[in-house]
Every structure is written in structure tokens, then in C-alpha cells.
Amino acid sequence: MLGRTLLRHWRDAHICFIADLPETDLTDAHATENAIEQAQPDVVVHCAAMTHVDGCESDRARAFLLNETATANVARATAAHGARLIAISTDYVFAGDQPGDRKETDATHPKTVYGASKLAGEEAVRALCPNHIIARTAWLYGTGGPSFVHTMMTLAAANPLRTLQIVDDQHGNPTSADAVADALTAILARPDLTGTFHLTCEGVATWYEFAQTIFRLAGYNDLTLIPCSSKEFQRPAQRPKWSALSKAKLKSVGLPKMPPWQEALMRFIRHEWK
């Protein structure tokens, strides 16, 4: 989803090459080196990952293969070619059990296999490719989905009872892929920048508050939303109660602020569901 959005934002201004299965298997170091050697890129954007949080919990080996090993292969090959690496990561590298916005410099302590495997990928990037940007994002939605926004819109259209239960004790930053693409465009223009950046929209909401805003902006005024707790929706992987990320690094280097999440969501719904 983010990869498609980045391609849409950049294809008119840059020559873009896509490396994906089945042509390129990033878990194969040799295949990864060949793909980067053939493309001769100035910048490599690594979006590939196993992001199914519950699936990671049930298949730890595959999660680490895709989120650590493949990332290490990309980082090593990017550095060998002398290119800049942008690697996409996640709020799940934090424990998510304390209120407040996590800063880029805060200690990580993942509570899930997904988070642990993505953190291992981050560490591989730092070790193998000094010229890197690690961009952590969360609660992401974008054109084509899948996303929470798309799920809510489908449920609203299909639910004859017009009643939905939504979790109201998890907090995060609903984030538009377009907003992330805009931020990465600004970062691309600054070759002096390296390190870890948090790229989520400004403002905090629960899933319940997120859903309320989705339906209001989409004109679904006949729906009844019932807030509920995470315990009522038990899943194999623990969901963080607090996923909000501070954008302190963006501010410190003089880059534009991320937009408020409500503003970004309004633009997205107007574009996606005209």
C-alpha cells in the first residue's frame, strides 16, 4: 500500500524501479544484490515486510526471515552500491504499555514477534548501511487498502443492523500513506539526513474515535457505534495500548510537520470514495 503510494508520488519526478516477487526474492542475498546492481539506484526504499501481526505470532521463523534477513540483504546490497536506504518500520518496536508519545530516541521493547522481527530489521539497517533513514509509521491507510478505513467502509455498507462494536482502549495516530509519502519526499531532498524518523499524522485517537470520524466524513449517520475493550476481541498477538509516536526529529531538522489526522483522513475519503 505504501509502496503504491510512493510510486504514484514519485514516478513523474524520478525514474522508479520495482523489485518484487516472483522476479526478486529479498530473502536471497544474491538475488537482492543482482536487483540493485541492475537498477543502479541512488535511493532504495525498502517497503517489503511480513505485516500480518497475528501471522507473525504463529510463524516466528518466517517473520524473522522476511523482516530481519531480507532487510539485512537489502541493507548490505544498498551499502555496497553506495546508495541511500529508506527502510519502513513500525510503532510495534515499542512496548506500547505506557501513555504518551514515544520519541525516536526512546528505548524499544517489543511485545510481539512482529515488533521483535521489525526491530531486528532496524538493527540490521543501522549495522550494515550507514546512509539510511528508518521511517516508523503506524495505523496506516492508503489507496486500495487493505486498511482499517477500508474495513470500516465495507462494514458500514454491508451491515443491515447498523450497529458496530469498536475497540476504545487502544490509542494511536491514524496516518495517511499520502502524508508519509510527502514527508519522505522532503527527506529525500535532504541528503544530509540519516537516522530514525517517526512519520505519523499529528493527533491521537482510539480505534473507536477513528471509526466515528470515518463514518461522519463518509456520511454514514445512521450507524450506532458501541465502544468496547480489547479483551472483547482477543487475538494471538498483543496489541499496544499506546501507539502514538512523537515527531520530535522532524521538528529538530526543520522539516514540515505532519498533518492532523482528521485533515488527512478527510482528504483521503473525498478522494477514495468520491
Torsion of Cα atoms, 19 then 20 then 23 then 29, to 10°: 70
Report pLDDT for 185.
97
Report pLDDT for 57.
97
Q: Is residue 210 very low, low, confident or very high in pLDDT (cuts 50, 70, 90)? A: very high
Residue pLDDT, tens place only, 124-144: 999 999 999 999 999 999 999
Domains of the chain are: 2-147+173-203+244-260 (3.40.50.720)
Whether the pLDDT of residue 159 is over 80: the answer is no
User: What separation in angstroms does the CA of 216 have from each of 200, 223, 225, 226?
Assistant: 22, 10, 12, 15
- Give the DSSP H/E element, type plus range, for residue 86: strand 84-90
Residue pLDDT, tens place only, 256-274: 999 999 999 999 999 998 6
Report pLDDT for 19.
85
Q: What percent of the chain has pLDDT over 90?
A: 85
Identify the DSSP state of 236: S
State the Cα–Cα distance between residues 244 and 32, nearest whole angstrom. Answer: 33
Whether the pLDDT of residue 161 is over 80: the answer is no
Report pLDDT for 247.
97
95-99, 114-118, 144-148, 221-225: the lowest-pLDDT one: 221-225
Report pLDDT for 274.
67
Whether the pLDDT of residue 100 is over 90: the answer is yes
The residue-averaged pLDDT of 240-245 equals 96
Partners of 62 in the beta sheet?
A: none
Between 20 and 160, the higher pLDDT residue: 20
Residue pLDDT, tens place only, 63-95: 999 999 999 999 999 999 999 999 999 999 999
Whether the pLDDT of residue 162 is over 90: the answer is no
Q: Which residue has the cell 475493550?
A: 229
Q: Looking at the annotation, which residues are catalytic?
A: 114
Q: Is residue 221 very low, low, confident or very high in pLDDT (cuts 50, 70, 90)? A: confident
Report pLDDT for 33.
96
Q: Which residue has the cell 495500548?
A: 241
Q: Which of 148, 260, 274 lies closest to 211, judged by CA?
A: 148
Residue pLDDT, tens place only, 30-43: 999 999 999 999 99
CB 72 within 8 A of CB 66: no
Phi, psi (rounded to 5 degrees) for 183:
-65, -40
The residue-averaged pLDDT of 212-231 equals 93
Q: What is the pTM of this model?
A: 0.96
